[in-house]
């Protein structure tokens, strides 16, 4: 079952049990996927759908932060519930150790020697960790490992 089919099935199930929050979140997610398909003029792959989900998750996290700063705990809680629903569609996240192994392998694969090669490493690494690791965390780890690998002047 593709990710899109799973989302559609969960949407229908949520409608049957009248789970208003889940129906709302999945309706918005389906709409975002549909809009992305229109933009690309083709059906999205599961990896591309994961990108859409991550974008929606990012929006929820920003909203939670804004609502908390504004003293609107009620709205922050609703966004938190929506976030939990969306996160259920992401694959199991990589542990720090698993991520470090992947980063080291990719550095070897592309033959990176210094921080100047970071773009090559990130380009090769991101498809491997999409949906399973935060991009900022990956970027920091790559930078740390490349700085440690570069000769000190």
Beta carbons within 8 Å of 28's beta carbon, 6+ residues apart: 56
The pLDDT value given to residue 153: 38
pTM, two decimals, is 0.72
Per-residue pLDDT band at 112 (split at 50, 70, 90): confident
Instruction: Clarify whether residues 12 and 76 are in a common domain.
Output: yes
The pLDDT value given to residue 149: 58
Can you tell me the mean pLDDT for 46-70?
A: 92
Residue 132 has pLDDT above 90, yes or no: no
The pLDDT value given to residue 114: 85
Instruction: Clarify whether residues 101 and 126 are in a common domain.
Output: yes
Share of the chain above pLDDT 70, in %: 97
User: Quick check: 21 and 78 in contact, CB under 8 A?
Assistant: yes
The pLDDT value given to residue 134: 80
Beta carbons within 8 Å of 120's beta carbon, 6+ residues apart: 110, 112
Instruction: Clarify whether residues 12 and 72 are in a common domain.
Output: yes
Total tally of structural domains belonging to the chain: 2
Instruction: Clarify whether residues 73 and 109 are in a common domain.
Output: no
Length of the chain: 153
More confident residue, 41 or 149: 41
């Amino acid at each position: 079952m593709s990710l899109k089919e799973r989302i559609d099935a969960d949407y229908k199930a949520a409608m049957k049990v009248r789970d208003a929050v889940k129906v709302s979140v999945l309706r918005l997610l389906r709409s975002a996927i549909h809009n992305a398909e229109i933009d690309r003029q083709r059906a999205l792959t599961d990896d591309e759908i994961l990108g859409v989900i991550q974008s929606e998750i990012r929006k929820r996290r920003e909203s939670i932060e804004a609502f908390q700063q504004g003293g609107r705990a009620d709205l922050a809680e609703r966004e938190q519930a929506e976030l939990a629903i969306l996160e259920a569609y992401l694959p199991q996240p990589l542990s720090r150790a698993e991520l470090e192994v992947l980063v080291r392998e990719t550095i070897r694969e592309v033959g990176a020697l210094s921080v100047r090669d970071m773009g090559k490493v990130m380009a090769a690494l991101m498809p491997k960790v999409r949906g399973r690791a935060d991009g900022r965390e990956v970027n920091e780890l790559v930078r740390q490992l490349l700085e440690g690998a570069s000769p000190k002047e």
